[in-house]
Structure 1
């Protein structure tokens, strides 16, 4: 996908034909990310959704240059950072921070909460002196809804929701422009998930943050996102605003994902038709020819094995990588058990 040739000032980060392939002993490389192009606009939340193994998290790690691209380009604030050294990347990692799925694993159990939150302040030399550092840590904890005295505790002494708030406070310590949220609510109870999403939205409003929100939870992505990108087997297969994608999906994979999301109204749920996919996600070591979804698509045709579909315009900003975008979805909904 190319959204024009020039990068406009409102584009904070861009991935251009990004590939991240991991070597595998005795076989071809694992194509975790295989030709992804995305633009994250300043001030928005871009939701990146797909099944486990689709390449979502690797895409986020590549944006932070925590994994090295095999090919393609990574730009942050208009600068191509693809080939930058680790030392030079330090400035980028202040501007782009990450909140991980499992706060228990991402926080050093030997460090207090205050020490974990203070680490970016020390690395990026943002405050001078221990007193200023303590004050800033207290401000950050208060910002995410934690009492400053919790700074003396260790991660195992906190609840899951509190630990995730600590992870958010640490991400904000460097005063970033963009925060990559990698499944930030997946390990939390439902009630806590809502609290964390509300916190993230408040912080975005107050601090002018930009988010890349990575999740397999379609309901959370709809709630959080201004735009949505759907990922399958290392590729982006559909993009658009939530209203476009959730009401009128154009790619069969997106339609199948949405049909599996429960509806709160029991009457609607009983009448709703589900689209059942057969088979497993193919191996990223040896993806199918042509359309990568064709081996699971109930409406795949002969030419789907021959042509690798581009991410083309459906309507407005709505794009889909399907030779029969929209048409295949309508056929699947008419005969979902096929």
Structure 2
């Protein structure tokens, strides 16, 4: 966005834009597919992220949900430029991340970090917990001096609920939940503003998941953090999120307040996802109708024309094969990309049909 465009609009509109910490527009991440053999040539691309528009507001938790393989983790990586976008733009606090030099990107790494899915794989088994948590302090030249860094490491371990005395221990001496706490402490070492939690509780026991979720919420309140919480666990997302974005086959198809999306999902895919979440009331669980989708998710190398969900949608009709629906407001602060709501879309030109 140009400076002139950024200043346009009413004071309220400018304030709403300033409230956005992370913004993606037209974001694409395509991975090339090559033929086998000696003369390898590009035969196509995996469209992991395929035109995402998304805003993440300061201090909120945006939950990102969808089936495995829909592009959630790739989107989180692209927002931090851990993978290079193929096209589109990512802004962090008004700065175009996609245009940053290596030096400027290194400075961004202090303010925007990730908590990884697997606490067993994300920690170096040859490095003590204290050394792991201290590494960002050394990289960003924070708390210089051995004593100052040791004091900061102790403070960070206490912050995530670990005794500072464990700093001399190695990852194999900890449980999965404790290792994830170490990973969170490492992520917080640079005093970040934005944290991507990439399936951060997926590999943990259910009882430990609740502890880590509560820890993340407590840290957010104490430190003013902004989260992108990536998960396929809708129950956890509803518990921790302020807003929810639903993703399908590389595209965000619905965004709204967590309570609204949970109670009144507007996209047929979101409705199917939420119908699969068990209800705590057995009577209500027996009464409700489960939406069962037919078929499998299409290949990300051959995305269907028009609405990419149409091949599995029980309510698909005439516009769906030919017009790609755009996100439009269907309720106040609640958007969906579906022709059932009279959504404006982009007609598919001749030759652009890439699937069934």
> Which TM-score tier does this pair reach, normalised by the shorter chain?
over 0.9
Q: Deviations over 1:181-235 (max 9, x none)?
A: 1011111111101100000000000001111111111111111111111000000
- Match of 1:201, SS? helix
Q: Equivalent residues in 2 for 1:120-269 (5 A)?
A: 120-269=136-285
Q: Which of 116, 130, 134 matches 2:132?
A: 116
Gaps of 5+ in 1: 328-338
Q: Distance in 2 between matches of 1:16 and 1:155?
A: 39
Deviations 1:7-39 (A, max 9, x none): 722111111110000111133111000000111
Give the corresponding residue for 2:98. Answer: 82
Match for residue 290 of structure 1? 306
Q: Shift of residue 302 of structure 1? A: 2.6
- Quote the residue 2:25 is aligned against: 16
TM-score scaled by length of structure 1: 0.94
Distance across 1 between alignment mates of 2:18 and 2:237: 25
In the TM superposition, what is the alpha-carbon distance from 1:81 to its structure 2 partner? 1.6
1:270 aligns with 2:286: yes
SS at match of 1:69: coil
Give distance in 1, aligned partners of 2:100 and 2:334: 33
In structure 1, the residue matched to 2:347 is none
Q: Retained in 2: the 8 A contact 1:64–1:96?
A: yes
1 CA distance for matches of 2:63 and 2:152? 30
Mind listing any 5+ residue stretches in structure 2 that lack a counterpart?
7-13, 36-42, 344-356
Cα distance in 2 for residues equivalent to 1:261 and 1:11: 30
Measure, in 2, the Cα distance between the counterparts of 1:254 and 1:325: 14
CA distance in 1, matches of 2:201, 2:287: 30
TM-score between the two structures when normalised by the length of structure 2: 0.89
